[in-house]
Structure 1
Amino acid sequence: MERPESPFLPRQVPIDGYGHNFFHFSGMSHSGSILALPSGVQPWPVTRMADITPSALELIVADAPRFELLFIGTGQEPAHLPEPLKQVLRDCGLRFELMPTHAAAATYNVLLAEDRPVGAALIAI
């Protein structure tokens, strides 16, 4: 996966809103999926669960020493992550929860507000 030169926003912020294929955060808007990690908010070239590959997890793995829990927003419906991808996340010390994107964004926001070390990988709805 090609690594962007820098995130949209080089700090972690709450997700202010989301809708059909977009997210709002810190006065900005993005069309498509996003990563909200301690290193910042950036685009994530994933449009469905089948697009999640080890390559799609590279930015998450690189930032893993900075957080403990990753919320994966699966789109509109609950979904599962194949065991080899779960192992990639476990190997870098991350715990993770998969849930529909709206629930993942909301839970991420709550824990971020509590200053918990969290991140989110959110597939746009």
Structure 2
Amino acid sequence: MAEGIVIRKAHFPGRAPLDAYGNGGFRFADMSHRGSILCLPSGIHGWEPADPDALTLEDFARVLEQAGDIEILLVGTGSDLKPLPPGLGQACRAAGISADPMSTGAAVRTYNVLLAEDRAVAAALVAVE
């Protein structure tokens, strides 16, 4: 019996540079993803923060689960720079992670450079139009 389309959680099981961003998504590894993403040691995951304009510590649970493999967390906050959510800086410092907020465009560029240098980098990137 033929199955219909199967929708799976968005996950690319590897590290890859980001080729493009904008129009509400990202391109990487000859694929595209609509929406926000987490670039982690375990791969690139679709990310759905409850409110992309008001990120919370809970939105970063998956990042903190992989803290032992991350030294730098880039937080792309959209078109404009916004402060880190309350508690995130403290939680990251306690886990040995340096967390840096910046616009999504700056975060993408910085992520690609640090990835090319084989640094222990992760990124939480809010999609921009």
TM-score (norm 1): 0.89
Identity of aligned residues (%): 43
Over alpha carbons, which structure has the higher Rg?
Answer: 2
**Residues 53 and 111 (structure 1 numbering): CA distance in 2 closer, same or farther, change over 3 Å?**
same
Query: Structure 1 residue aligned with 2:35, among 21, 32, 35?
Result: 32
Answer yes or no: is 1:105 the counterpart of 2:108.
Answer: yes
Q: Which residue of 2 aligns with 1:68?
A: 71
Query: Structure 2 residue aligned with 1:19, among 22, 45, 67?
Result: 22
TM-score (norm 2): 0.86
* Structure 1 segments of 4+ aligned residues over 4 angstroms from their partners: none
**Residues 67 and 7 (structure 1 numbering): CA distance in 2 closer, same or farther, change over 3 Å?**
farther
Alpha-carbon distance in 1 for matches of 2:9, 2:22 = 25
When you count helix as a share of all residues, which structure comes out higher? 1
Alpha-carbon distance in 2 for matches of 1:60, 1:7 = 16
Instruction: Please state how far the C-alpha of 1:85 moved relative to its aligned partner.
Output: 2.1
Q: Give the superposed CA RMSD.
A: 1.6
Answer yes or no: is 1:48 the counterpart of 2:52.
Answer: yes
Alpha-carbon distance in 1 for matches of 2:109, 2:90 = 25
Letter in 1 for 2:92: L
Alpha-carbon distance in 1 for matches of 2:123, 2:85 = 18
